[in-house]
Structure 1
Amino acid sequence: MAGVSALAYGIQLPVQSQSTLYTEPWEAAAGPEDLVAVARAADAAGFAYVAACDHVGVPHRLAAAMSTVWYDPVATLAHLAAVTERVRLLSHVAVVGLRHPLLTAKQYATLDHLSGGRLLLGVGAGHVREEFEALGVDFGRRGAVLDETMDALRAALGPDEFPEHHGTHYDFAGLGQRPRPSQPHVPLWVGGSSPAAVRRAALKGDGWLPQGDPRERLAEGIARIRRLREEAGLDGPYTVGALSGPLYVGRPAWDVGRRTLAGAPERIAASLREYRALGVGQVQVRFRSRSRAELIEQIGVFGAEVAPRLD
């Protein structure tokens, strides 16, 4: 975790997940063409990645808040890979413990191969008990399952055509999988801000995806990750992420909410540069918008006027 030289920026795509916590009203009637247009705009504006979430199913008790609109991340990112050129493709996050790691590896290795090596595999433990129960996975042991799944994925997404893993939950060898990923090393970023998630991110991940922690708490998490990695003798490349609050570049002509940081490009950039000073390498930004056109406009002006001020 050497000093951060430049602050990259990415975006969680609209439409593909529609939790009431962040979805804009226009997304309810949106569809694939809107998703493609936004991904292309992010690609053109220099965004480091576009991201998609993962839920197999949402139970009735959570549907009012979470909605049941959650596109499959592999299908979504593969579709967007074909209509973009350079932007990377992040699962934020894939609940990989719900699936056998050989199945996950087959899907994401193919995605990386088809996209020319643009995959960023974000993983997390998951939080919806009913998903685990429906798929026959022990919800109470999801942390331990994720730990081993990451080990298995390291093997299954590595260079070997016949990957091998022998563990408590999974045991496989002698099964060839091609195509292999285009990248020699698929980055595994770990999502979550619990003590267990931070430890997992430090010791097993290539990066950390916190859950919108306040900056003071984010600083504590970064310090803990540094300490854990130093104690374990880990010194390879590592990416710390952050989630910005809602943004609006320029003077809004509508009520964007008191939590939204709005104003001139330099004001937005100055706020985001504070993350860089903490040791953050990439920040996931979110824009308030009333339409696809307004969101694309915000993406474009951010890339043209805010991004150059981030260094």
Structure 2
Amino acid sequence: MPGISPAQRSVVTDTTVLCIDPGHRWVGTQLPIQAQSSLFVAEWERSASPEDLAQVAQTCEVAGFDYVGVCDHIAIPERAAPAMGTHWMDPIATLSWLAAKTKRIHLLTHVYVLPYRHARVAAKQLSAVDHLSGGRLVAGIGAGHLAEEFDLLNLDFSSRGRVMDERLPELVLALENEFVAGFGASPRPTQQPRPPVWIAGSSAPAIRRAVDVGDGWLPQGPATPRLVESLKDRLARAQRPVDGFAIGHIAPPIHLGAADVDLGKYTITGSATQVADRLLSAMPADVNQIQIRVMANSLDEYCAQLSWAGAELLPLLR
């Protein structure tokens, strides 16, 4: 099976770059509009301004969320636009903007599509975000999933797995070292030896890459018991501890309290206790990073939901 060679693996630090303390569970969220399905996007989100997005991130920070995330798409093909929409913020530019508007909350690329960029370009961009934010970047890295988007960039969609295997060690090496192959790049990341790298995807190769190179794993959706057991088995065979390794889960959308309008059949509603019970019962116990998304029909309601979640829901999820 193609993969990351022992020589490539040797560039990675011997220990996991810890981001989540053992025994603790992170709770984060995506920015508004950052959803793979238009089912989970309210109309107000499509016209959210930069200041609106900053207000959301600041509300998350005050509410006690661990991170806010931004996805990565260049352009959406017409056949997928009805389901996905075409409004996707650039992750590097957006997280840099949010870095200037916040002080403590972590900033997650969820996810940065590495096959779209040279590994050194990726390292430069990610290092800059970590530097500008004072060491708050978490680099979520994925292979991409839209074939037409690869075609648009004159890239081979079928080769993206091989490209990931080649570029991930190069990326980590460049994040950890100022000089690589005779070339130096700074400013360096604030976090040392580098920002945490979480590998995204629910396929077997994605889980393999997470164990071989990453400090954590971001599933494409909910974390199932089968996927988590596969991850833990690979960690054990690689003699890597589970403690501190980020094991992610994407929860269904939620709305605390009664909703005035229909929020869709997938949205979990109720009190904080009711919502927490449903979320926790639907994910494996080993999950230590859960991403939630609130549903609301205005910016004010959205921020109110985040504040409510911070006060009552997050303590139950942790």
TM-score, normalization: structure 2? Answer: 0.88
The residue number in structure 1 matching 2:226 is 220
The one-character-per-residue Cα deviations of 1:188-209 (angstroms, maximum 9, x if unpaired) are 1111112222222232221111
Compared CA separation, residues 277 and 130, structure 1 to 2 (3 A):
closer
Helix, strand or coil for the counterpart of 2:251?
A: strand
1:94 aligns with 2:116: no
Helix, strand or coil for the counterpart of 1:286?
A: coil
The one-character-per-residue Cα deviations of 1:59-107 (angstroms, maximum 9, x if unpaired) are 2222222222111100000000000111100011110111001111111
Q: Take 1:134 and 1:253, find their aligned partners in 2: how far apart are those partners?
A: 42
Helix, strand or coil for the counterpart of 2:55?
A: helix
1:231 aligns with 2:237: yes
8 Å contact from structure 2 (residues 294, 302) kept in 1: yes
* Counterparts of residues 99-110 of structure 1 (less than 5 Å): 99-110=117-128
The one-character-per-residue Cα deviations of 1:7-33 (angstroms, maximum 9, x if unpaired) are 211001003567414211111222212
Aligned letter for 1:10? G
Helix, strand or coil for the counterpart of 2:127?
A: helix
Aligned letter for 2:300? A
The one-character-per-residue Cα deviations of 1:143-189 (angstroms, maximum 9, x if unpaired) are 1101221101110100x2112xxxxxxxxx11110000001131111
Root-mean-square deviation (Å): 2.1
* Counterparts of residues 1-311 of structure 1 (less than 5 Å): 5-15=23-33, 19-158=37-176, 160-163=177-180, 173-184=181-192, 185-213=194-222, 218-235=224-241, 237-274=244-281, 278-311=285-318
Structure 1 unaligned regions, length at least 5: 164-172
> Which structure's relative contact order is higher, taking Cα pairs within 8 Å and 6+ residues apart?
2
- After TM superposition, the structure 1 stretch with the greater mean CA deviation from structure 2, 121-130 or 17-26, is 17-26
The residue number in structure 1 matching 2:3 is none
Query: Offset at 1:276?
Result: 7.0
Helix, strand or coil for the counterpart of 1:112?
A: helix
Aligned letter for 1:298? Q
Q: Take 1:28 and 1:11, find their aligned partners in 2: how far apart are those partners?
A: 17
Q: Take 1:239 and 1:18, find their aligned partners in 2: how far apart are those partners?
A: 22
TM-score, normalization: structure 1? Answer: 0.90
8 Å contact from structure 1 (residues 41, 300) kept in 2: yes
8 Å contact from structure 1 (residues 189, 207) kept in 2: yes
Identity rate, percent: 43
- After TM superposition, the structure 1 stretch with the greater mean CA deviation from structure 2, 98-107 or 265-274, is 265-274
Q: Take 1:67 and 1:93, find their aligned partners in 2: how far apart are those partners?
A: 17
Compared CA separation, residues 298 and 119, structure 1 to 2 (3 A):
same
Helix, strand or coil for the counterpart of 1:157?
A: helix
Q: How many residues align?
A: 298
Helix, strand or coil for the counterpart of 2:154?
A: coil
8 Å contact from structure 2 (residues 75, 86) kept in 1: yes
List 4+ stretches of structure 1 deviating above 6 A.
none
